[in-house]
Structure 1
Amino acid sequence: MRIVVTGGSGDLGGRVVRQISARGHEAVAASRRTGVNLATGDGLDCVLEGVDAVIHSASSQTKPQSVDVAGARRICEALRRIGSPAHVVSISIVGSDLIPYAYYRAKVDSERVLEEADVPATVLRATQFHSLAAFFGTAGRVGPLTFSIGNMRIQPVDIDWVAQRLTDHATGPAPSGYRRATDIAGPTAYSADQMAEILATHDGRKPPRVVRVPALLPVMRGFAKGGILPGPGAEIGGQSFEDWLRGQPTPMPRRFHSPT
């Protein structure tokens, strides 16, 4: 199979590319570095010629409407223009329809684009990656204190497992139209207290005291009410957060590196 991966130069996309190649398929990384611009559509028709599947893993925290949403639309338009029956597989976020956060709304908009595009398409929703969970656990720390939005919990997932599942869908049977795949999540949900203790132990620090901030705004209420936690039908798997953390630097950097 020939599979194009948008965002193929990013963390998630790069892992998808390696997964595809390891299974004996041809992986084509599509990004601005390779002359493909989802925000403008430049290079799409050329890279999609003869493709069997497209994994849309490109994303932008700052311009999601241009990359996540318009990118999905341009992929579908290009496939129809060149008469390709290729299967489009896209990554999304568990609970993105429950929290009125601009980036999450863009993910829902991207799903809707694929649903209405009249192409074979699969959307896979995953919980937050381990790196983002670690950022949540470190960014809110101020001296001996750390802050939590109400009783918010997070159930992070292994990015490598997400890459595997995206590849599974792309190399497996394509649907006749649009489908939502089973959501995926990591093995354990953590409260702010638990996350703070795990990260403090990793860094060799005393665990901070957790201060819960009232969930006053709609976005905060969505997080506090468990909007980002998987439902009972989700597929659970991948490396645990603790196992992932053992391979990270000490102390854990207090910054977020986007996987896309």
Structure 2
Amino acid sequence: MTTILVTGGTGTLGRLVTERLRAGGTTEAGGSGAGHEVRVLSRHSRPYAVDLREGTGLAPAVAGVDTVVHCATSPRGGDEQAARHLIEAARRAGVRHLVYISIVGVDQVPLGYYRTKLAVERLVEESGLGWTVLRTTQFHDLVLQVLRSSAKLPAMLLPAGVAAQPIEVTEVAARLAELATGVPAMGVPPAGGWGRVPDMGGPEVRTFPELARAYLRASARRRPLLNVRLAGKAYHGFRAGGHLTPERAVGKVTFEQFLAERFPARS
């Protein structure tokens, strides 16, 4: 029986990855994904309640684990320290495969959080483990959160000239589960190859005014839209589309379809 540990397993993505792995399915290699033992690691999830930034309690969590899917993250910081603790514990436990979820554009947009995600990618690459890194565009949920926050004002303030390519989190979870039940994209030397699998982007690149209008229609709200030019290198990176991957628009669920699920009465 394959044992898989999912960090951040109670979060938006990690919870869905855990459910997918426990339910089984088809692996990347073509076999059955059923029969996995899945351990959920988070700060408050028993029996593997671990704060990765501290690293205490990791040894029993990774003991006997074949694959780690690393979904845990925090915009408030500590991701690099957490990754170091996880990688050290995984090496000691003989983990075969480390799967990491990252973001499209972490090497293009000089945003602090993106730089941290890129640094963690480098730690994974240098870990000495078999590894796989998947980058995706932003989830529908995050775009909705941004728009809801903006709609609290009398006018919705939107970043001028910036587009987004939101993707459905369940589709990302399915892909991560597939990768976790397959072989590492970068095998342990002397095997191996390049360990970053093709990016996943949402089905459409949309401007923020288009997304805002879709949200207002779905939620039956009215707000004027105000495009605001911002300063800084990160904003220019977003304007240049460094966070987009139109050539990898593999997602199926559109933002309107996502909204129809969130606002069924309105739809």
TM range (shorter): 0.7 to 0.9
Equivalent-residue separation in structure 2 for 1:203 and 1:235 (angstroms): 26
Match of 1:214 among 225, 229, 232: 229
Aligned residues: 245
160-169 or 73-82, which deviates more: 73-82
Residues 225-256 of structure 1: CA distance to partner in whole angstroms, max 9, x if unpaired?
21211152x2512422111111214899xxxx
Task: Say whether residues 1:11 and 2:12 are aligned partners.
Answer: yes
Deviation, structure 1 residue 213:
1.6
- Give 1:256's aligned residue: none
Q: Distance in 1 between matches of 2:215 and 2:117?
A: 29
The aligned residue for residue 173 of structure 1 is: 183
What one-letter code is carried by the residue in structure 2 that aligns with 1:17?
T
In 1, the alpha carbon distance for the partners of 2:80 and 2:252 equals 28
Equivalent residue letter for 2:218: H
Which position in structure 2 is the counterpart of 1:21?
22
What's the offset of the Cα at 1:108?
0.4
SS in 1 for 2:262: coil
Q: Secondary structure at the match of 2:6?
A: strand
Residue 169 of structure 2 corresponds to: 159
Q: How does 1:1-260 map to 2 (within 5 A)?
A: 1-23=2-24, 24=34, 25-33=36-44, 34=46, 35-63=49-77, 66=78, 68-82=79-93, 84-141=94-151, 142-143=153-154, 145-174=155-184, 175-177=186-188, 179-206=195-222, 208-232=223-247, 234=248, 236-249=250-263
What TM-score does the superposition give when structure 1 sets the normalisation length? 0.88
Structure 1 gap ranges (5+): 253-260
Which amino acid is 2:89 matched to? Answer: A
Q: TM-score, normalised by structure 2?
A: 0.86
Aligned residues: CA RMSD: 1.9
Bigger share in strand: 1
Cα pair 1:147 1:213 within 8 Å, conserved? yes
| Alpha-carbon distance in 2 for matches of 1:32, 1:148 | 35
Equivalent residues of 2:203, 2:249 under 8 A apart: no
> Shift in Å at residue 99 of structure 1?
1.5
Instruction: State the distance in 2 between where 1:5 and 1:74 align.
Output: 15
Preserved contact between residue 202 and residue 251 of structure 1 (Cα < 8 Å): no
1:58-81, Cα deviation, whole Å (9 max, x unpaired): 011112xx2x22222222211222
Structure 1 distance, partners of 2:249, 2:17, is 19
- Is the partner of 2:53 in helix, strand or coil? coil
Ranges of 4+ aligned residues in structure 1 off by more than 4 Å: 249-252
